[in-house]
Amino acid sequence: MASSTAPNVSGSPELWPALLLAEWEPTRATLHMWMQIVGKISLKLKPHVNHWWQTALHFNAHGLTTNAMCYRDRFVEIAFDLVNHQLLIRSGGKEKRMPLITQSVADFYQDIMSELRALGIDVSIWKMPVEIPDPIPFDQDDIHRTYDREYVSRFWRVLTTLQPIFGAFRADFLGKCSPVHFFWGSFDIAVTRFSGRRAPEREGADSITREAYSHEVISAGWWPGGGAVNDAAFYAYAAPEPIGYRTAKARPEKAFYHRDLNEFILMYDDVRTAADPGQALKNFLESTYEAGATLGRWDRESLEAPRPIEKAG
């Protein structure tokens, strides 16, 4: 496969800050719920796209955005400005700004719905969070209410460091591939490659899972941790998983297959403290993909770029 065009990312603390889950979990949990509210608005206003891609948030210069959503005869966009710590709502030449501050999920929900109505946008969403244990309806959640700017800034620096590397990895693939996007349900950055073949239907799968894995995929991403992995980590998996994948050799050496999660894991701290963090991440992405694509008998010659694209000028 062609060598990645990923930028040469140094190991400086500014670019790869520490982000221990235990230190910022109250803020992470609050931000997660706020992003779920915005994500559900996007889900309501956008037409369905295969594999639920329309629901994801996307990168802009200051944070994560819904991109343009159609409401009747105009567009509306909602964006988390994680640099200036604001929520921006734009529509019809008007803009509303909500400061991101310590406040409950219930208050955030009421505020954003009020600002949308002030712009003439009346949208209702299912108020129950998803993909978390013990969910509390948004308008009743007075428990999650912490917003620490320092940790949100670290979180954003991590995302801005990772996005170009994941983006370059995506650029090396000629077949169908997702954008590098942020899923508000699982709270992770992800990029997914497709073989082009349909996958066997999963027994007992719900409609969301059935659609997400209707075709063969190899997916990779990063999330702040939680559940079976108690700190920030990179992941990679193949679905359906080919025989021999879990015993394949992933790079760098500290990467391992997590048998409870059925995916390869590489802890974020093991990357950020490496001599060359960018190369360590690149090795993880490439080795886990190559193992899955080879064992899964993907048509790699047709799907992979033969050489990096030279930039003009």
Final residue of a domain: which of 79, 105, 140?
Answer: 140
**Measured distance CA(19)–CA(12) in Å, rounded:** 14
| Domain-embedded: residue 256 | yes
**Measured distance CA(24)–CA(7) in Å, rounded:** 28
| Domain-embedded: residue 115 | yes
Residue 125 sits in the same domain as residue 231: no
Residue 277 sits in the same domain as residue 297: yes
Residue 134 sits in the same domain as residue 153: no
CB 157 within 8 A of CB 15: yes
| Domain-embedded: residue 93 | yes
Residue 161 sits in the same domain as residue 297: yes
Residue 104 CB contacts under 8 Å (≥ 6 apart), including other chains: 141, 142, 143, 144, 145
Pairing of the two strands 233-239 and 256-258: unpaired
Final residue of a domain: which of 140, 163, 189?
Answer: 140
| Domain-embedded: residue 8 | no
Residue 200 sits in the same domain as residue 291: yes
pLDDT tens digits, the chain, 313 residues: what are they?
A: 554 555 555 556 668 999 999 999 999 999 999 999 999 999 999 999 888 889 999 999 999 999 999 999 999 999 999 999 999 999 999 999 999 999 999 999 999 999 999 999 999 999 999 999 999 999 999 999 999 999 999 999 999 999 999 999 999 999 999 999 999 999 999 999 999 999 998 888 887 788 778 899 999 999 999 999 999 999 999 999 999 999 999 999 999 999 999 999 999 999 999 999 999 999 999 999 999 999 999 999 999 998 655 555 4
Residue 168 sits in the same domain as residue 296: yes
| Domain-embedded: residue 312 | no
**Measured distance CA(233)–CA(9) in Å, rounded:** 18
Burial status of residue 67 (CB atoms within 10 A of its CB: 0-12, 13-18, 19 or more): middle
Residue 250 sits in the same domain as residue 117: no
Final residue of a domain: which of 85, 115, 140?
Answer: 140
| Domain-embedded: residue 1 | no
Structure tokens at 69: 């959503």
Question: Could you tell me the residue range of the domain that residue 100 belongs to?
Answer: 21-140
Domain count, the chain: 2
Q: What is the pTM of this model?
A: 0.93
Structure tokens at 242: 């080919």
Residue 132 sits in the same domain as residue 178: no
Residue 196 sits in the same domain as residue 228: yes
Residue 45 sits in the same domain as residue 167: no
| Domain-embedded: residue 135 | yes
Residue 28 sits in the same domain as residue 115: yes
Residue 153 sits in the same domain as residue 285: yes
Q: What is the DSSP string of the chain?
A: -PPP--------TTTS----HHHHHHHHHHHHHHHHHHHHHHHHHSPP-GGGGGGSBEE-SSEEE---EEETTEEEEEEEETTTTEEEEEETTEEEEEE--S--HHHHHHHHHHHHHHTT-------S--SSSS---GGG--S-----HHHHHHHHHHHHHHHHHHHHHHHTB-S-B--SEEETTTTEEEEEEEEEEEPPPPTT--HHHHHHTSEEEEEEEEE--BTTB-S-EEEEEEESPPTTGGGS--SSTT-EEETTTTEEEEEHHHHHTSSSHHHHHHHHHHHHHHHHHHHTT--HHHHB-SSPPPPP-
| Domain-embedded: residue 2 | no
pLDDT of residue 204: 81
